[in-house]
Structure 1
Amino acid sequence: MKIQLKRINNDYHFELKNERGHITYIDSKAMVGGHDLAPSPMEYVLMGVAGCSAIDVISILKKQKQKIKDYRAEVDGTRVEIDGAKPFKEIDVTVYLEGDIAPEKAKRAAQLSFKKYCSVSKTLEPTAEIKYKVVVNNIEI
């Protein structure tokens, strides 16, 4: 896996491209000298958690013939300063599912994602506690 980064302006706005040619952008917040033209690198980390777990959960539920009408997630990261850096200390994920889905299957799919399959979560696990909850058809399970 390889990513290329190219500086766009004289500050902190960058273009990133993967090996398949997909392009995205990164910038820093204005308060630290950027122009807030794109998500920050740490926001992309949280997006990675959301996306990785979504792919896992949906894949698991599809294999179990569950009918997913809608999938959303909210991810909230708490950071702590350590020697000038601010890594995530805790990440809270809420998965919202709608459809003809057995609640126990949804809960098990999320558990498998966060504890076993999600490479992003597993990468962060040594330094950040990742907690999750699942809401199916507006009922937390």
Structure 2
Amino acid sequence: MKARVKWVEERTFVGESGSGHKLVLGTAPGPEGRTPGPSPMELVLIGTGGCSAYDVVHILEKGRDAVEDCVVELEADRAETEPRVFTRIHMHFVVKGRQLS
């Protein structure tokens, strides 16, 4: 697996996956105070949720459970000092389907 991240300006970057998907990320406020995309740490949190939700759905489908929906709501705390790593991540899964145990 490969990826590439290119600095554009200020605190704005463009990330490209090895499969060719691109996304803008950054923390520099632009017009109307909005950032150009999610921050790198937001992407880490989203990626954590995506990997976890993928695994939950995959495991349930492998067990022949009739999954109709899966949402993972994430809430994280970060260290107050640099490097501002995650100190806690809480994941709440809401899985819907037929006859799930």
Cα distance in 1 for residues equivalent to 2:4 and 2:34: 21
Q: Specify the alignment match of 1:13 in structure 2.
A: 12
1:59 is matched by which residue type in structure 2? H
Q: Specify the alignment match of 1:87 in structure 2.
A: 85
Deviation of residue 91 (structure 1)? Answer: 0.2
Deviation of residue 43 (structure 1)? Answer: 0.4
Aligned-pair Cα RMSD in Å: 1.7
Note the residue ranges of structure 1 that are not aligned, 5 or more in a row.
Answer: 104-141
- Indicate the structure with greater strand content: 2
**Segments ≥4 residues shifted beyond 6 Å:** none
Structure 2-normalised TM-score?
0.86
Deviations 1:80-128 (A, max 9, x none): 124x22111000000111111423xxxxxxxxxxxxxxxxxxxxxxxxx
Structure 1-normalised TM-score?
0.64
Contact 1:70/1:99 (CA < 8 Å) preserved in 2? yes
- Residue 40, structure 1, aligned to residue 39, structure 2: yes
Cα distance, 1:47–1:101 mapped onto 2, change above 3 Å: farther
